[in-house]
Amino acid sequence: MALNCGIVGLPNVGKSTIFQALCGAPAEVANYPFCTINPNVGIVTVPDQRLLNLQQLFKPARTIPATVEFVDIAGLVKGASKGEGLGNQFLSHIREVGIIVQVVRCFENPDIIHVENRVDPNNDMDIIAIELALADIDTLLKRKERAERTLKVSAKAEQKTAELVLAALAKIYPVLQNGGTVRSVPLTDDERSAIYDCHFITMKPQLYVCNVDEAGAQQGNDYFEQVKKRALSEGADAIGICGKFEAELADIAEPAERLAFLAELGLKESGLNALIRAAYRLLGLRTFFTAGSDECRAWTVRNGACAPEAAGVIHSDFEKGFIKAEVYSSEDIVQYRTEAKIKEAGKYRIEGKEYRIQDGDVVFFRFNV
């Protein structure tokens, strides 16, 4: 799976405004459909109090946070799967991302054009769901045709794989016809492996972002509740963000002023921070740290990665020559303040090749090449 997040939605729902606030990167923002034709890409730092704690304790020469990539994809419209609104081009961009972050308009503003001429989150979500499902049906039918040809002319081993593909596609097709998602279909591990080359769009995890006004950011609104209810039914998350407010907040450089600005709305943190962390988790990523006077750094690994793989994220030689990992929790260093006291408390561990890195581990790798 690609380690990036594609921001999608109908035109004029606030995708580019949210992207610009996220990344501090220039994204074309205008009050007309398709002002974003080519996708904008931005690298976003993952907010993490644990790294700040390490920075305060070790006072390193430099501190490097984890990052995640966001891609601002142009707005989809009804008929995108058939090429409406340059839809085929936009759908190809969605295929290249790891998760889908769908922005849903949850605010009223007569000065901002809605492509459907009304604010209706459920209808907006239906349009996106149907277009993505139709795009996947097109992919499915092409793969089905190829598998059926394999059954007629190929060797037995290839025929067996083709049978597995056809069995999986038979489960998926009726779900897509009803506007459902591939990720909701119960498939065996073998079936998932067999259809991996389809790269179905609706197999990707999805996160809903409700773009609300300032009142909605404080108290929520009926539109936001509609999206949350639907997300819950799909096993997805929904986050409320005021794009306009976040854009203003992003322009404030001084941390103290940013906190004061948040406090005015009764908020403890930026909604974008919650979005970044949620996207990071949904990508299946976890963070471990290295810490010292030279550098405190957050490193990214896939969930379930063993110690040698994590060592390889730092340098390939670390993985090749892995001997052991010296590990303690980022919570332990906050409690005990020094590594010496962590050792005295029996919290300093020596782990081998089978150890699975836990989110928040502070690790020192021993290796020999």
pLDDT for 268 equals 83
Distance of CA 282 to CAs 24, 85, 194, 202, 214, Å? 22, 29, 23, 15, 27
User: Distance between CA 350 and CA 253 in Å, rounded?
Assistant: 42
pLDDT for 2 equals 67
Annotated domain spans of the chain: 4-47+66-124+203-282, 130-202, 304-367
Phi first, then psi: give them for residue 359, nearest 5 degrees: -60, 125
**Tokens 């707005």 correspond to what residue?**
75
Where does residue 277 rank: exposed (0-12), middle (13-18), buried (19+ CB within 10 A)?
A: middle
pLDDT for 117 equals 85
Which listed CATH number (3.10.20.30, 3.40.50.720, 3.40.710.10, 3.30.200.20) goes with 304-367?
3.10.20.30
pLDDT for 11 equals 85
Among 170, 277, 181, 302, residue whose Cα is nearest residue 230: 181
pLDDT for 218 equals 79
- The CATH-assigned architecture of domain 130-202 is Orthogonal Bundle (1.10)
Q: What is the token pair recorded at 86?
A: 């340059």
Distance of CA 288 to CAs 32, 224, 332, 366, Å? 43, 34, 14, 16
Full strand arrangement of the beta sheet holding 4-8:
40-45, 67-72, 4-8, 99-105, 206-211, 237-241
User: Distance between CA 330 and CA 334 in Å, rounded?
Assistant: 7
Q: What is the token pair recorded at 287?
A: 């963070």
Q: What is the token pair recorded at 324?
A: 């052991």
Helix (H) or strand (E) holding 328: strand 322-329
Among 237, 225, 240, 242, residue whose Cα is nearest residue 121: 225
Q: Which CATH superfamily hosts domain 4-47+66-124+203-282?
A: P-loop containing nucleotide triphosphate hydrolases (3.40.50.300)
CB 311 within 8 A of CB 365: yes
CB 300 within 8 A of CB 286: yes
Query: Rg of the chain's alpha carbons, rounded to an integer?
Result: 23
CB 77 within 8 A of CB 115: yes
User: Distance between CA 255 and CA 72 in Å, rounded?
Assistant: 26
User: Distance between CA 195 and CA 200 in Å, rounded?
Assistant: 9
Helices (H), the chain: 15-23, 49-58, 87-95, 121-153, 156-177, 189-194, 214-219, 222-233, 243-250, 255-264, 271-282, 307-314, 316-320, 330-336, 339-344
Three-state secondary structure call for residue 89: helix
Residues of the chain short of pLDDT 50, as ranges, are: 27-36, 85-87
pLDDT for 266 equals 80
The pTM is what?
Answer: 0.88
